């Protein structure tokens, strides 16, 4: 029986791949058979990732780029096509958060978050989408957040950006599905990464998170790999415009 989750022969781009979620998804896609262009602002963050993928028999192309810079998305796509010979999957993961109360958010903070999380995500999708629509095949997975589905404290710019990503996902799916290009999103809750480690090491903060999570645990990075492979694969050929919450049930929590 054909394994519809096998990504052999496919080429993927993973942005924000230097650390955390992006790094885990890059390794996961490579293990599923894809060759992967891994993108991060800091080139040194990609060295060990490429070595890990290659040690496991995969192929990876490091690309240092800042998605907030004009022309960066086109450069990433062009480099991927030139060096890897194709483009079938985009994991649009690059993002950031600045935890500031709404009354204290500055214009500079707002712009930093939205320029990467929303604007950068769109133009990366657009650059990849041009190739995918022309070849009539593609899988785009935008990494959103449960912060785009429900309100979270001290994250107004982040929540607005991720809510925008979720709605943008629907619009792109509406326009591009006729070209056999699916566009979906994953909305994670708290996962153990270098960025969340300090927060989760605070017992009071951790206990509040767990109290609002039916699964009674935070996510491990491996919990995101299966959903990402599914949405990147032929198994999800008839799934588009959807947001999959990978959150231990947090977004359905009720009192």
Question: What is the phi/psi pair of residue 100, to 5°?
Answer: -135, 140
Handedness of CA 128, 130, 133, 134 (dihedral sign): negative
| Sites in the chain below the pLDDT cut of 50 | none
Per-residue confidence (pLDDT) for residue 66, from 0 to 100: 97
Q: Is 156 exposed, middle or buried (0-12, 13-18, 19+ CB in 10 A)?
A: buried
Tokens of 239: 């799934």
Per-residue confidence (pLDDT) for residue 154, from 0 to 100: 84
**C-alpha distances out from residue 200 to 93, 186, 187, 210, Å:** 21, 21, 19, 10
Per-residue confidence (pLDDT) for residue 52, from 0 to 100: 97
Buried b (16+ CB within 10 A) or exposed e, 111-142: ebbbebbbebbbbbbebbbebbbeeebbbbbb
Per-residue confidence (pLDDT) for residue 240, from 0 to 100: 98
Q: Which of 158, 190, 205, 206 is catalytic?
A: 158
Predicted confidence (pLDDT) per residue in 175-213, tens digit = 999 999 999 999 999 998 887 888 899 999 999 999 999
Per-residue confidence (pLDDT) for residue 153, from 0 to 100: 85
**C-alpha distances out from residue 224 to 83, 178, 179, 242, Å:** 27, 27, 27, 16
Residue 205 annotated to the active site: no
Per-residue confidence (pLDDT) for residue 195, from 0 to 100: 79
- Pick from 172, 186, 178: nearest CA to 232: 186
* Domains parsed from the chain with CATH numbers: 11-191+221-246 (3.40.50.720)
């Amino acid at each position: 029986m054909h394994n519809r989750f096998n990504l052999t022969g496919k080429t993927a781009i993973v942005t924000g791949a230097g650390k955390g979620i992006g790094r885990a998804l890059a390794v996961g896609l490579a293990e599923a058979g894809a060759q992967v262009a891994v993108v991060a602002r800091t080139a040194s963050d990609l060295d060990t990732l490429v070595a890990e993928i290659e040690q496991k028999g995969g192929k990876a192309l490091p690309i240092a780029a800042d998605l907030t810079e004009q022309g960066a998305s086109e450069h990433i796509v062009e480099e991927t096509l030139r060096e890897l010979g194709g483009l079938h999957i985009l994991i649009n993961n690059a993002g950031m958060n600045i935890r500031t109360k709404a009354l204290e958010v500055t214009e500079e903070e707002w712009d930093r978050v939205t320029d990467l999380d929303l604007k950068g995500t769109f133009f990366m999708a657009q650059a990849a989408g041009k190739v995918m629509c022309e070849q009539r095949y593609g899988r785009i997975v935008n990494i959103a957040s449960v912060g785009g589905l429900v309100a979270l404290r001290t994250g107004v710019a982040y929540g607005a950006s991720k809510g925008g990503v979720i709605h943008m996902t629907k619009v792109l799916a509406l326009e591009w599905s006729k070209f056999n290009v699916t566009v979906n999103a994953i909305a994670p809750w708290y996962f153990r990464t270098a960025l969340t480690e300090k927060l989760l090491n605070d017992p009071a903060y951790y206990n509040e998170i767990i109290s609002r999570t039916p699964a009674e645990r935070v996510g491990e990075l491996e919990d995101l790999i299966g959903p990402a492979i599914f949405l990147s694969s032929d198994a999800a050929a008839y799934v588009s415009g959807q947001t999959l919450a990978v959150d231990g049930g947090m977004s359905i929590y009720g009192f």
